[in-house]
C-alpha cells in the first residue's frame, strides 16, 4: 500500500557524499565505496537511476521517524565495504521524492543500526539516495511516497 509522508531536508554528516570536514576517512564518500558491493549483490545503482544519481544521501527529518523494516526491496548482509569497520547490513527500498511539484526516484538507505559503527542520525532522520534534485536546499519541505509493506514510519 502506497503511503506519503512529509519531511524537511536537514544537513547530514557529509560522510556518504565525501563532503565531511570532520571525518575525512572517506574522501570519495561511503556511497561510492559501497555501490560496488551493492552491484555485486544485485543492485546496480547506475541502472536503477538511469538519469544518474547523487553519490551521497538526502537527510530527511520526519516528525516521528521510527522505521519498521518489513520487506525492503534489497537486504544486504555482512557487507565488508571498508577495512575500517566490521561488515555492515543494509536495507534499501524504493521511494519517490517529491520536491517542487516534481517526482524523483529514490531509495531509502538504512544501514542496520545493529551493525553500523558510527555516524548515527537522530532517530527522526532517514537517508535517501536519489537523482539530483535541482534547487534543493536544507530546510526545504519534501514529500516521499513509498510502499508501507516494505517499510513504514510509525
For 18-65, give the DSSP string: T--SS--S-TT-HHHHHHHHHHHTT--HHHHSTT---SS-EEEE-SS-
At residue 54 the predicted structure's pLDDT band, cuts being 50, 70 and 90, is very high
Quote the pTM value.
0.89
What is the average pLDDT score of the chain? 88
Q: Which CATH class is domain 2-134?
A: mainly beta
Higher pLDDT, 11 or 131: 131
Sign of CA dihedral 87, 31, 128, 59: positive
From residue 59, give the alpha-carbon distance in Å to each of 71, 84, 137.
Answer: 22, 24, 11
Can you give the residue ranges of every domain in the chain?
Answer: 2-134
Q: What percent of the chain has pLDDT over 90?
A: 66
pLDDT category at 48 given cuts 50, 70, 90 is very high
Mean pLDDT over residues 76-80, rounded? 96
Amino acid at each position: 500500500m502506497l503511503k506519503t509522508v512529509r519531511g524537511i531536508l536537514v544537513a547530514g554528516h557529509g560522510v556518504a557524499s565525501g563532503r565531511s570536514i570532520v571525518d575525512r576517512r572517506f574522501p570519495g564518500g561511503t556511497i561510492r565505496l559501497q555501490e560496488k558491493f551493492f552491484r555485486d549483490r544485485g543492485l546496480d545503482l547506475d541502472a536503477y537511476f538511469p538519469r544518474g544519481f547523487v553519490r551521497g544521501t538526502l537527510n530527511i527529518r520526519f516528525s516521528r521517524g521510527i522505521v519498521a523494516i518489513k520487506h525492503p526491496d534489497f537486504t544486504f548482509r555482512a557487507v565488508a565495504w571498508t577495512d575500517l569497520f566490521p561488515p555492515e547490513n543494509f536495507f534499501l527500498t524504493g521511494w519517490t521524492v517529491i520536491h517542487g511539484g516534481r517526482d524523483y526516484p529514490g531509495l531509502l538507505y538504512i544501514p542496520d543500526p545493529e551493525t553500523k559503527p558510527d555516524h548515527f542520525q537522530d532517530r527522526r532522520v532517514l537517508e535517501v539516495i536519489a537523482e539530483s534534485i535541482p534547487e534543493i536546499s536544507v530546510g526545504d519541505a519534501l514529500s516521499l511516497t513509498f510502499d508501507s509493506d516494505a517499510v513504514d514510519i510509525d
